[in-house]
């Protein structure tokens, strides 16, 4: 009997949530989990394919694992599994099992088939009726912060992005189920939930069950209010899509203190020509209008974003437009990516690739600008008191603890690990490049 399972997770929070769900099902089926790949009988790699580099990593890991003396059963799950399907068996013969993104609940039965002697087991099917999102609290990554998926997949088909192919069409969870999960998490002592999805604000459940009685211009803003009413201390949500970002989201945040003051709103480019080629469905002016609404909120909301540099056809002028937009937005945080060609996406057939050296130069120029701007936004926090959820001991000093503010910044301060899981007001005294430092004034 294959009894011990090790799972390695790459990529986004959705993969982290899927791993938690997979572990829940495996334990129910009698498997033990291990954190040591060398003692595992089954190794599962939960993979990401958003950029080519992430995808290559999977195959490197498989060839390392193949050499492990224990010869574990090797399974590939997640986005690479869904996209590459049976070709994974050809490319990496050590792989026994390919588990698509909607087959998470079926892993125990797929492993049983391997145990029964079947080779090369593949499941790329859709989720089946009755497979509800079930994560045992014991399997969650943190005892204080829980990811709660509210929508899976994406219908937007931005021309560079593989997600609509790897995760399928948008499917929203029922609001009743989400609210019940948050209530359960609250009663277990969780302090923060992060509502996650590729585009949370495209949330569109089949029925209004659980949302009746909540005001709100969109199903998502009604859901925010319903989740806020559970009384859980902190609620964050990510990722938001500009076209669907309704001002009522900001109104909901202003009404409920437990809705945190942070919005992650990827723009991808500051050039309208590029935004059109990316098929984003918004212009830079549309984006800036959203930013204006977010920034003029009485809650002083933090704003973070994603940008791709070197999309096919991006000229120096297009890139200058991106630099200008970034300067105008003064993001609290920015994830910068060099464009990576993903086969099957429309952009894979676009001409006019930007050279690697130009991509790198633009990446570095944008990064330098962001560092300069972030220094300003972080220094603005000095002298303010931020509410911080203490998560762990700081990596830098034994005397410091570390956590996130409601505006999702890393904050370190003098404290001890008995404070883990508590929410402490911290007076900020110093801004560092990606974190803040301060002194506890409560808790």
- Map the footprint of ligand SF4 across residues 392-431, applying CB under 6 A: none
- Binds 43: which of ligand SF4, ligand 5AD, none (CB < 5-8 Å by kind): none
- Binds 241: which of ligand SF4, ligand 5AD, none (CB < 5-8 Å by kind): ligand SF4
Distance CA 112, CA 123 (A): 13
Q: β-pairing, 73-78 with 42-47?
A: parallel
- Secondary structure (H, E, C), 2-69: CCEEEEEECCCHHHHHHHHHHHHHHHHCCCEECCCHHHCCEEEEEECCCCHHHHHHHHHHHHHHHCCC
Backbone angles phi, psi at 441, to 5 degrees: -120, 5
| Residue 358, CA atoms < 13 Å, CB-side half-sphere | 16
- The nearest distance, CB 352 to ligand SF4, in angstroms, is 20
- Contact pick of 339, 363, 413, 437 for ligand 5AD (by CB under 6 A): 339
- SS3 category, 377: helix
Count of residues interacting with ligand SF4 (CB under 6 A): 10
Query: Cβ closer to ligand 5AD: 10 or 339?
Result: 339
Residue 307's DSSP bridge partners are: 268, 336
Instruction: Identify whether the C-beta of residue 180 lies closer than 8 Å to the C-beta of residue 132.
Output: no
Containing H/E element for 81? helix 79-84
Query: Cβ closer to ligand SF4: 157 or 335?
Result: 157
- Map the footprint of ligand SF4 across residues 230-249, applying CB under 6 A: 241
Name the residue among 315, 353, 361 with its Cα closest to residue 336: 361
Instruction: By CB under 6 A, tell whether 154 contacts ligand SF4.
Output: yes
Instruction: By CB under 6 A, tell whether 204 contacts ligand SF4.
Output: no
Residue 97's DSSP bridge partners are: 75, 121
Instruction: By CB under 6 A, tell whether 157 contacts ligand SF4.
Output: yes
Distance CA 19, CA 99 (A): 12
Instruction: By CB under 6 A, tell whether 308 contacts ligand 5AD.
Output: yes
Count of residues interacting with ligand 5AD (CB under 6 A): 12
Q: Which stretch binds ligand 5AD (CB under 6 A): 14-22, 335-343, 361-369, 390-398?
A: 335-343
- Binds 340: which of ligand 5AD, ligand SF4, none (CB < 5-8 Å by kind): ligand 5AD
CA torsion angle 375 378 384 386 (round to 10): -160
Instruction: By CB under 6 A, tell whether 65 contacts ligand 5AD.
Output: no
Containing H/E element for 151? strand 151-152
- Binds 283: which of ligand SF4, ligand 5AD, none (CB < 5-8 Å by kind): none
- Binding mask 6-35 toward ligand SF4 (x if CB under 6 A, else -) reads ------------------------------
Q: Give me 431's structure tokens.
A: 């801004």
Q: Which stretch binds ligand 5AD (CB under 6 A): 72-80, 164-172, 338-346, 369-377?
A: 338-346
- Contact pick of 19, 166, 198, 238 for ligand SF4 (by CB under 6 A): 198
Write out the E strands in 250-378.
262-264, 302-309, 333-338
Instruction: By CB under 6 A, tell whether 259 contacts ligand 5AD.
Output: no
Instruction: By CB under 6 A, tell whether 163 contacts ligand SF4.
Output: yes
Distance CA 191, CA 416 (A): 18
- Binds 199: which of ligand 5AD, ligand SF4, none (CB < 5-8 Å by kind): ligand SF4
Q: Please report, as ranges, the residues that interact with ligand 5AD according to CB under 6 A.
A: 50-51, 160-161, 266, 268, 306, 308, 337, 339-340, 342
Q: Please report, as ranges, the residues that interact with ligand SF4 according to CB under 6 A.
A: 154, 156-158, 161, 163-164, 198-199, 241
């Amino acid at each position: 009997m294959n009894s011990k399972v090790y799972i390695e997770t790459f990529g986004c929070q959705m993969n982290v949530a899927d791993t938690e769900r997979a572990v829940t099902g495996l334990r129910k089926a009698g498997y033990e989990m291990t954190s040591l790949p060398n003692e595992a009988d089954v190794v599962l790699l939960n993979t990401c394919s958003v950029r080519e580099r992430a995808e290559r990593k999977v195959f490197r890991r498989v060839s390392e694992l193949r050499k492990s003396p224990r010869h574990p059963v090797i399974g590939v799950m997640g986005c690479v599994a869904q996209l590459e399907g049976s070709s994974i068996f050809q490319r990496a013969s050590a792989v026994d099992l390919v588990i698509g993104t909607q087959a998470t609940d079926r892993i125990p039965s797929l492993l049983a088939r391997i145990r029964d002697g079947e080779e090369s087991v593949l499941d790329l099917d859709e989720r089946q009726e009755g497979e509800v999102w079930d994560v045992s609290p014991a399997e969650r990554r943190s005892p204080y912060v829980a990811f709660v998926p509210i929508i899976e997949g994406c219908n937007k088909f931005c021309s560079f992005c593989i997600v609509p192919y790897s995760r399928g069409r948008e499917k929203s969870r029922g609001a009743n189920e989400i609210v019940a999960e948050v209530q359960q998490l609250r009663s277990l002592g969780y302090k923060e939930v992060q509502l996650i999805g590729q585009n949370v604000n495209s949330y569109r459940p089949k029925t209004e069950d659980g949302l009746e009685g909540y005001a709100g211009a969109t199903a998502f803003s009604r859901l925010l209010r319903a989740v806020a009413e559970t009384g859980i201390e902190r609620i964050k949500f990510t990722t938001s899509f500009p076209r669907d970002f309704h001002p009522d989201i900001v109104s909901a945040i202003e009404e409920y203190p437990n809705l945190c003051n942070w919005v992650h709103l990827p723009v991808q480019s500051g050039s309208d020509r590029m935004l059109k080629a990316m098929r984003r469905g918004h212009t830079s002016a549309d984006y800036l209008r959203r930013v204006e609404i977010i920034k003029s909120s009485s809650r002083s909301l933090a704003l973070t974003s994603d940008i791709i540099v070197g999309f096919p056809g991006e000229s120096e002028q297009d890139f200058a437009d991106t630099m200008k937009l970034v300067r105008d937005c003064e993001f609290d945080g920015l994830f910068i990516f060099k464009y990576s060609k993903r086969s099957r996406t429309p952009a894979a057939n676009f001409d006019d690739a930007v050279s690697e050296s130009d991509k790198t130069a633009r990446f570095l120029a944008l990064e330098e600008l962001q560092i300069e701007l972030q220094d300003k936004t972080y220094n603005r926090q000095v002298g303010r008191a931020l509410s911080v959820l203490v998560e762990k001991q700081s990596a830098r000093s034994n005397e410091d603890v570390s956590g996130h503010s409601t505006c999702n910044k890393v904050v370190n301060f003098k404290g001890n690990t008995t404070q883990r899981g508590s929410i402490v007001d911290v007076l900020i005294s110093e801004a560092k490049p990606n974190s803040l430092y301060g002194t506890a004034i409560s808790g």
